[in-house]
Structure 1
Amino acid sequence: MDHLLTHQNILLLQGKMGTFFCRFATFLMEQGKQVRKINFNAGDALFYCHKDKMDNYRGTVADFDAFISQIIEQYHIDAVVCFNDCRPYHAVASRVTSALGVSFFVFEEGYLRPDYITLEEHGINGYSRLNPDLIEGFDRANDKPNYTANRFWRLCVASMVYYLVVFIGQRRYPHYEHYRGLSIWQEMRAWLIAPVRKLCRYLPDKHLQHRLINQGDNFYLVSLQVHNDSQITHHSDYEDVRAFITEVLDSFAKCAPKGTKVLFKHHPLDRGHRDYRSFIDRTARSFGIEGRVLYGCDMHLPSLIRASIGMITINSTTGLQSVYHQKPTKIMGRALYDIKGLTDQKPLDEFWGNPTPPNREFYLKFREYLIEQTQLNGSFYGLAPWEVADLGKDK
């Protein structure tokens, strides 16, 4: 953030659904910065409060490079900020800023959670320029982030309002391409289905959680991710999460010790989009391991991690939570934390019988490096980083 604030003319692209970028722009203006924003749909425009300092883009992704180049030149932009660098328009912006020598900053969900969000220059996740060789130079982390009062229901409300407004106003933005690869109607439908599924599955999931944690079942935890998240589409070799599930079950059936089980933990933000229950049941039967394979969503992840043998995931940041709890963690995609000393480097078939736990001392140094280089104490749907900082001054 300190480096971003050395820039004077800042351009915002798409942010999180809701008011975060509006509040962020206000903060920047209070620091004496000149701020503009580009909206790509009616939802972007609705949630942005500085109406006299925004531009609406109604063209195609293919033509966006010329548009953003013009905006950068017209307003002497020296820094561009967005949320997630893999969205179609943001990928174009990354290339344009690199060519023009303009700084490019990316927000993302926190690598470390809760009470952190990510802000990196150049790129995030698989595009991050973090250098693991520098980790040893940092001391052990003893961070105590302030509580940020992040609320999931605020995300849900913002999402439903956002997609409704985008749907209503889509004629004004006829060429808008949604970053999830779905139509606006499909996204609206998914967010309407999600609370119904949560209501129907809440008690069975809690019962399963209680059984796993309190009855001592010997299980591995598989943390699933949003099926069309950029972590899957850009930072893994899987065309679909179901291919990952099949690979894990195949390996589990062949190599996992007898008497062990595997639990697939569904991602809450993918609840309305996908339900893998039938697929997992069919696949488990085909491998002859029905009864050893479990599936749920509304369960307390840290408690599951602590009770598990270890975690398998493509590249979710929940893997860092597993490492924090000193559990063996196997990464099947590309992740900035998939390095020796943190995650198990053996093939998956060997992981089941001989999982390697992380090096605690090295993890604490890595955590300190990650916090110093990429993390802000704040949240998108609670206290923002500058609000948390103000609280610290008042104490």
Structure 2
Amino acid sequence: MAASMQHLLTHQHVVLLQGKMGSFFNRFASFLQSQNISVSKINFNAGDAFFYKHEQVHNYTGTLIAFAPWLTQFIAEQQIDAVVCFGDCRPHHLQAAKLCEKLGVSFFVFEEGYLRPDYITLQEHGINGYSRLNTEDIKALKKANDKPLYTHNRFYRLCVAAIVYYVITRAFKHRFPHYHHYRGMTAWQEAMAWLKAPWRKLLGYYPDKKLQRDLVNKADGRYFLVSLQVHNDSQITHHSPYLDIVQFIDEVINSFASHAPQEQLLVFKHHPLDRGHRDYRAVVSNIAARYKVAARVFYGCDMHLPTLMKHSKGMVTINSTTGLQSIYHQKPTKIMGRAIYDTEQLTDSQPLDKFWQTPQRPENEFYLRFREFLIEQTQLNGAFYGKSPWMYKYLHTNAPSSPSLEEQGSLKP
């Protein structure tokens, strides 16, 4: 089990803030209680409350400005010695992190796995730009030999949880009058975006597959891959210099047009979870035309990422975990934001302008040790919408991988 979890299990009273939409924090609370740890939960909206069925629940209905003083008092009264959340960049969680630092309370963050699939991340203090992991510690580690169990993670479970979460949050908004969703979208806007997604997938599926075949068969080793991220991902807003994805696209195409060899191509890969929210096809086309490289720049979504990586010349990304996959395939990788894996032996430290001309491959031996380091320190064999072997073996009875809404909990007054 990861060192971060081992440390968390040494605490006496843990408070859970906001988690993933769905029942993961409910199951996690059961796990902590099985280890004789007291668990409290703070809900910020009705969706949080619906999926959590344990006792010691506290609904925060105040303003964001008043949260830090309220949490200070709560920690003191309840004798909290550890705070756990999902995502360290949500407004309430940012305040909690600063407060924990001040009070000497441990702060742990769940996030999607640095290494995928079949891993999730639990890290103390924060992730990526907030990480305090010291890569000097990996020198004594051996090569990675991890064999995670299959977690049966399912996308439809996320969809069902999200629909229920947003509906409940909207229906009982009057109980949490000051709550504003951290992504800045209303339930209706989210619903419309997810309704657009399958239609856009249908329209783009065959053109994207054709583009993939052409790249593999006709441009093998002649294209750079650009992995785009979700437009409002906290890794963009907090751990990069960019205001939005369009600014990043513009910088990349501008640099490519001025410095990449004429025979090289550039391929933008859209993030599938952002399909309904954003479509950069016209943006990429217009920017490429402005920099006079329209014939060398391509864009798609439904393409097999590992296949594209294997046949690429290298990858550019802001700080996506796909960068680690690129390094795994021993491809030159350029990071434009702040990422936990952005070290000299793994990523290309040259300016982007020079990256196109002389891309540097990662050191595979160092990568294997770095991977082992991440697993031992931060990675848990599990899934937010599937099974979590690290959790189940400590429970007297295994929790189902896809609990019914009745089992997931009910809305508390």
TM-score by length of 1: 0.95
1:303, 1:172 → 2: CA distance? 48
> Given the alignment of the two structures, is residue 251 of structure 1 paired with residue 255 of structure 2, yes or no?
yes
Counterpart residue identity of residue 333, structure 1: G
CA positional deviation for 1:389: 4.7
Larger mean CA deviation between 242-251 and 127-136 belongs to 127-136
2:333, 2:25 → 1: CA distance? 34
> Given the alignment of the two structures, is residue 192 of structure 1 paired with residue 195 of structure 2, yes or no?
yes
Pick the aligned partner of 1:101 from 80, 104, 115: 104
CA positional deviation for 1:341: 0.8
Write out per-residue CA displacement over residues 173-217 of structure 1, whole angstroms, 9 at most, x where no aligned residue.
111121112333322322222222223222322222222223344
Q: Which residue of 1 aligns with 2:311?
A: 307
Q: Which residue of 1 aligns with 2:320?
A: 316
> Given the alignment of the two structures, is residue 136 of structure 1 paired with residue 139 of structure 2, yes or no?
yes
Is the Cα contact below 8 Å between 1:193 and 1:272 reproduced in 2?
yes
Q: Which residue of 2 aligns with 1:79?
A: 82
Q: Which residue of 2 aligns with 1:205?
A: 208
> Given the alignment of the two structures, is residue 24 of structure 1 paired with residue 17 of structure 2, yes or no?
no
Write out per-residue CA displacement over residues 85-128 of structure 1, whole angstroms, 9 at most, x where no aligned residue.
11000011111212221111100001111111110111111100
2:165, 2:204 → 1: CA distance? 26
Is the Cα contact below 8 Å between 2:21 and 2:158 reproduced in 1?
yes
1:69, 1:189 → 2: CA distance? 38
Q: Which residue of 2 aligns with 1:367?
A: 371
> Given the alignment of the two structures, is residue 214 of structure 1 paired with residue 232 of structure 2, yes or no?
no
> Given the alignment of the two structures, is residue 291 of structure 1 paired with residue 295 of structure 2, yes or no?
yes
Aligned CA distance change for structure 1 residues 291 and 185 (closer, same or farther; 3 Å)? same
Write out per-residue CA displacement over residues 108-153 of structure 1, whole angstroms, 9 at most, x where no aligned residue.
0011111111101111111000112222121111111111111122
Q: Secondary structure at the match of 1:274?
A: coil
Aligned CA distance change for structure 1 residues 278 and 357 (closer, same or farther; 3 Å)? same
Is the Cα contact below 8 Å between 2:31 and 2:394 reproduced in 1?
no
Unaligned runs of 5+ in 1: none
> Given the alignment of the two structures, is residue 380 of structure 1 paired with residue 380 of structure 2, yes or no?
no
Pick the aligned partner of 1:157 from 136, 160, 180: 160
> Given the alignment of the two structures, is residue 64 of structure 1 paired with residue 53 of structure 2, yes or no?
no
2:302, 2:51 → 1: CA distance? 29
Q: Which residue of 2 aligns with 1:344?
A: 348
CA positional deviation for 1:9: 0.8
Q: Which residue of 1 aligns with 2:148?
A: 145
> Given the alignment of the two structures, is residue 169 of structure 1 paired with residue 172 of structure 2, yes or no?
yes
CA positional deviation for 1:53: 2.2
Q: Secondary structure at the match of 1:61?
A: coil
Structure with the bigger RCO (C-alpha within 8 Å, sep 6+) is: 2
CA positional deviation for 1:387: 4.3
Counterpart residue identity of residue 29, structure 1: Q
Counterpart residue identity of residue 77, structure 1: I
Counterpart residue identity of residue 240, structure 1: D
Q: What is the number of residues matched between the two proteins? A: 391
Counterpart residue identity of residue 366, structure 1: F
Larger mean CA deviation between 146-155 and 315-324 belongs to 146-155
Counterpart residue identity of residue 130, structure 1: L
2:29, 2:392 → 1: CA distance? 16
Q: Which residue of 1 aligns with 2:409?
A: none
Is the Cα contact below 8 Å between 1:327 and 1:357 reproduced in 2?
yes
2:324, 2:345 → 1: CA distance? 12
Write out per-residue CA displacement over residues 226-268 of structure 1, whole angstroms, 9 at most, x where no aligned residue.
1111111111110111010000001111111122211111111
1:225, 1:232 → 2: CA distance? 8
CA positional deviation for 1:75: 1.9
CA positional deviation for 1:18: 0.9
Q: Which residue of 1 aligns with 2:235?
A: 231
1:226, 1:367 → 2: CA distance? 24
Q: Secondary structure at the match of 1:263?
A: strand
Is the Cα contact below 8 Å between 1:178 and 1:184 reproduced in 2?
no
Unaligned runs of 5+ in 2: 399-413
Counterpart residue identity of residue 213, structure 2: H
2:389, 2:230 → 1: CA distance? 26
Q: Secondary structure at the match of 1:3?
A: helix
1:91, 1:305 → 2: CA distance? 35
Is the Cα contact below 8 Å between 1:262 and 1:294 reproduced in 2?
yes
Counterpart residue identity of residue 175, structure 1: H
Q: Secondary structure at the match of 1:291?
A: helix
2:193, 2:171 → 1: CA distance? 17
Instruction: Report percent identity of matched pairs.
Output: 63
Is the Cα contact below 8 Å between 1:313 and 1:319 reproduced in 2?
yes
CA RMSD of aligned residues (A): 1.6
Is the Cα contact below 8 Å between 1:226 and 1:267 reproduced in 2?
yes
CA positional deviation for 1:385: 4.2
Aligned CA distance change for structure 1 residues 130 and 184 (closer, same or farther; 3 Å)? same
Is the Cα contact below 8 Å between 1:27 and 1:386 reproduced in 2?
no
Is the Cα contact below 8 Å between 2:14 and 2:39 reproduced in 1?
yes
CA positional deviation for 1:390: 6.4
Is the Cα contact below 8 Å between 2:34 and 2:394 reproduced in 1?
no
> Given the alignment of the two structures, is residue 262 of structure 1 paired with residue 266 of structure 2, yes or no?
yes
Write out per-residue CA displacement over residues 31-82 of structure 1, whole angstroms, 9 at most, x where no aligned residue.
22211111111111111122x3211111111001122122212221111100
